[in-house]
């Protein structure tokens, strides 16, 4: 018995934190409890191994500053009982975190469809004293055929299309020795490649959502009505609107 539950075979219990309905969670409260699939209770060895990563001074300082910044995004922290009062938009959070880390050169890897947002971000970062280098996802103008895309798989069928080139974006920012990179609207998967090839740590300012004005959480908030179809098998739109 641990934390109020019986331990089960660890191998058969995959973590399911997203489905946890425990009120006083063991991962958040002293003397808390967890459900049978709780990784805090079932995966102590893996957790201990991961925590050892913070013994690296670079990782530890990065993590420490991220947590300091996290707390500073709330006001009235000294008032009890505490009531959550967030006060900083994410772009301000990024600026303040970069300052805490003494970063001077910031890389911006953006989607061609979000040029205006990338420009606005650059203006803010410049105004805050950072040296900014930015790279468009279409950089290089490499045809999609290079990665095996055929005409029917293009956005504009029958026309020339440059591929998104997140590996080039990462390489160019690596070459510039950016201290920290910021993603602005890269596609699903293209962002993954950028993360894999970027030498500097990367954060995300905007997650692209072509339909929801870059607010992907909107679909999650409305599965009770307008996006109920996402809870049914097969989520492609009907052929007539394709
Ligand atoms: S770690 Fe355990 S208590 Fe915390 S959310 Fe996951 S399942 Fe729930």
Same domain, 127 and 153: yes
Helices (H), the chain: 39-42, 44-52, 57-72, 90-100, 115-127, 166-175, 190-197, 217-221
Same domain, 74 and 128: no
Q: What is the distance in A from the centroid of ligand 1 to the CA of 25?
A: 6
Q: What is the pLDDT of residue 4?
A: 42
Domain housing 173: 99-208
For every residue of 89-108, DSSP letters joined together read: -HHHHHHHHHHHTT--EEEE
Number of domains in the chain: 2
**Is residue 33 one of the residues assigned to a domain?**
no
Report the run of H or E that residue 210 belongs to, with start and end.
none
Q: Which atom of ligand 1 is nearest to the CA of 37?
A: 7
**Is residue 13 one of the residues assigned to a domain?**
no
Q: What is the pLDDT of residue 2?
A: 43
**Is residue 242 one of the residues assigned to a domain?**
no
Q: What is the distance in A from the centroid of ligand 1 to the CA of 27?
A: 6
Residue 150: C-alpha distances to residues 139, 143, 160, 164, 208 (Å): 20, 11, 11, 15, 24
Mutate which of 26, 36, 47 for ligand 1? The one with the most ligand atoms within 8 Å of its CB, which is 26
Q: What is the pLDDT of residue 239?
A: 59
Same domain, 131 and 190: yes
Tokens at 50, concatenated: 């991961």
Q: What is the pLDDT of residue 5?
A: 47
Nearest CA to ligand 1 atom 5: 17
Q: What is the pLDDT of residue 235?
A: 75
Same domain, 189 and 104: yes
Q: What is the pLDDT of residue 6?
A: 41
Q: What is the pLDDT of residue 242?
A: 58
CATH number at residue 124: 3.40.50.2300
Same domain, 117 and 176: yes
Q: Which atom of ligand 1 is nearest to the CA of 26?
A: 3
Go through 140-161 and write b for each residue having 16 or more CB atoms within 10 A of its CB, e for each that does not: beeebeeeeeeeeeeeeeeeeb
**Ligand 1 lining (C-beta closer than 6 Å):** 17, 20, 22, 25-27, 34-35, 38-40
Nearest CA to ligand 1 atom 4: 27
**Is residue 224 one of the residues assigned to a domain?**
no
Q: Which atom of ligand 1 is nearest to the CA of 32?
A: 3
d(CA 18, CA 238) in angstroms, rounded, equals 30
Mutate which of 37, 40, 46, 50 for ligand 1? The one with the most ligand atoms within 8 Å of its CB, which is 40
**Is residue 135 one of the residues assigned to a domain?**
yes
Same domain, 120 and 198: yes
Model pTM score = 0.92
**Average pLDDT per consecutive 10 residues, the chain (242 residues; last block may be shorter):** 45 88 97 97 97 98 98 97 97 98 98 98 98 98 98 98 98 98 98 98 98 98 96 76 58
**Is residue 179 one of the residues assigned to a domain?**
yes
**Is residue 162 one of the residues assigned to a domain?**
yes
Q: What is the distance in A from the centroid of ligand 1 to the CA of 80?
A: 26
Same domain, 83 and 149: no
């Amino acid at each position: 018995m641990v934390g109020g539950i019986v331990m089960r075979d660890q191998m058969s219990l995959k973590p399911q934190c997203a489905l946890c309905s425990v009120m006083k969670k063991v991962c958040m409260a002293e003397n808390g409890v967890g459900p049978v699939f709780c990784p805090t209770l079932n995966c102590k060895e893996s957790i201990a191994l991961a925590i050892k990563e913070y013994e690296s001074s670079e990782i530890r300082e990065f993590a420490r500053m991220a947590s300091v910044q996290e707390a500073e995004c709330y006001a009235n922290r000294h008032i009890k009982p505490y009531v959550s009062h967030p006060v900083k938009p994410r772009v301000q959070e990024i600026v303040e975190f970069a300052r805490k880390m003494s970063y001077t050169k910031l890389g911006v890897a953006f989607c061609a469809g979000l040029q205006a947002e990338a420009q606005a971000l650059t203006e803010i970062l410049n105004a805050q004293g950072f040296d900014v280098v930015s790279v468009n996802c279409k950089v290089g103008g490499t045809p999609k055929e290079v990665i095996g895309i055929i005409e029917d798989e293009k956005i504009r069928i029958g026309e020339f299309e440059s591929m998104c080139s997140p590996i080039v974006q990462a390489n160019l920012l690596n070459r510039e020795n950016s201290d920290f990179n910021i993603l602005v609207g890269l596609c699903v998967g293209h962002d993954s490649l950028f993360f894999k090839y970027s030498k500097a740590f990367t954060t995300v300012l905007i997650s692209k959502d072509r339909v929801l004005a870059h607010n992907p959480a909107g679909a999650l908030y409305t599965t009770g009505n307008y996006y109920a179809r996402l809870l049914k098998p097969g989520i492609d739109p009907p052929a007539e609107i394709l």
